[in-house]
Structure 1
Amino acid sequence: MEKQQDPRVLRTRQLIRESFIELLQSIQFESITIKDIAQKATINRATFYTHYEDKYALLDEVIEQAFKEMIPEQVIHAEALTEEIGDQIILLTYRYIVDFHQTCRLDSKSIATLVDSQIKGMLQKTIEDILSKEKENHQYIEILAAITSSAIYSATYQWFRLEKNSHADLLLDIVRPYIMRGLSKQL
């Protein structure tokens, strides 16, 4: 039986996350202090440390929670990496990058590197889960997921940087065939 969390704990964690996100919109990550987060959340620093080890742990949770909330049910329950599922993953990744960069100031290289690394890892895990269902005993699932997720992330990030935000359908037309052809030769 799963242990129920205290609603007060859940509310406090939510308040901390929301305060942190608000701060990220106006202050660079490196400049945000635990004191800033605690003041914005109207809690004391000790309460912050009860819930999070540091602001990096908080950042990790914010990134992961936002990514998981964006994954369509169809992708979560996919039994194979079809073109439709691939399209959803490409668009999910692109929307996540756009949303995160619009919500948070990612001016510094260090935070951008942290965010990129975590997104790539979650994307790889999502693809690996799907490929594992499709070909249970394939010995190179991890490598194929790493290649596929890297290609999707790199293409969507580059698309974002080139400011082609209004043409996601063109992004799909470019990335989908590359991904699907590569996987079809390996699976």
Structure 2
Amino acid sequence: MENIARKDRRVIKTKQAIIKAFLELYSEKDFEHITINDIAERADVNRGTIYHHYLDKFDLLDQIINEHLHKLIHYCTPHEDESGQILLVNELKLVFDYFKENFGFFSTLLMNRSSSMFRERLLQVVSAELRKKLAAKDRQMYIDHELNTQFMTSSFVGIVEWWIQHRMPHPPQYMAEQLSLLLVKNEF
């Protein structure tokens, strides 16, 4: 049993080294110019070790993105206030806290010239969550749900990109409050 735990820790450390090496390389050059050899050399592992865990660099990037977006959704579970209501500003603060805690990852993916893949995935995740929230609303809305979803999704992702690209000039609480006001203004 102890041997299995030790092996699992080695696998985790190896994967962390591979991911760290990949993200460092991704921040230095375009995705197209990163090779498995580059990643292996930077991570101090054999090429075969990378292929043991990932099909190729596309699979590596895909798994990294999936893991962070999955964590973002689950980490940002809203909390109810004393009256049992979920406050939008509290929910958004959790989101901005997560972005801040993982600034290195998000800044690397959002500031790289070839970041469209990540941006597209982020748009998909955010729009899916917004669709669910808008569908759960009881009141009559005067704006088409899909148009509202696309507008708010693009606005949210744009604000997050701006915030990260400008090295988070405002704290998460301030961003949550401001974005909450904007979303409420748009019938969210």
TM-score normalized by the length of structure 1: 0.65
> Hey, what does 1:43 align to over in structure 2?
45
Distance verdict in 2 for CA 1:122–1:81, change over 3 Å: farther
> Hey, what does 2:54 align to over in structure 1?
52
> Hey, what does 1:88 align to over in structure 2?
93
Map 1:17-166 → 2, pairs under 5 A: 17-69=19-71, 73=75, 75-76=76-77, 82-88=87-93, 91-92=96-97, 95=100, 98-100=103-105, 102-103=107-108, 106-108=111-113, 111-128=114-131, 134-135=136-137, 145-161=149-165, 163=166, 165-166=168-169
- Structure 2 unaligned residues grouped into runs of 5+: none
Aligned mates of 2:95, 2:147 — CA distance in 1:
18
- Structure 1 unaligned residues grouped into runs of 5+: none
> Hey, what does 1:16 align to over in structure 2?
18
- Asked if 2 retains the 8 angstrom alpha-carbon contact of 1:156 and 1:171, the reply is no
Percent identical among aligned pairs is 22
Deviation at 1:41, TM superposition (A): 2.5
Bigger relative contact order, structure 1 or 2 (CA pairs below 8 A, ≥6 apart): 1
Aligned mates of 2:167, 2:35 — CA distance in 1:
35
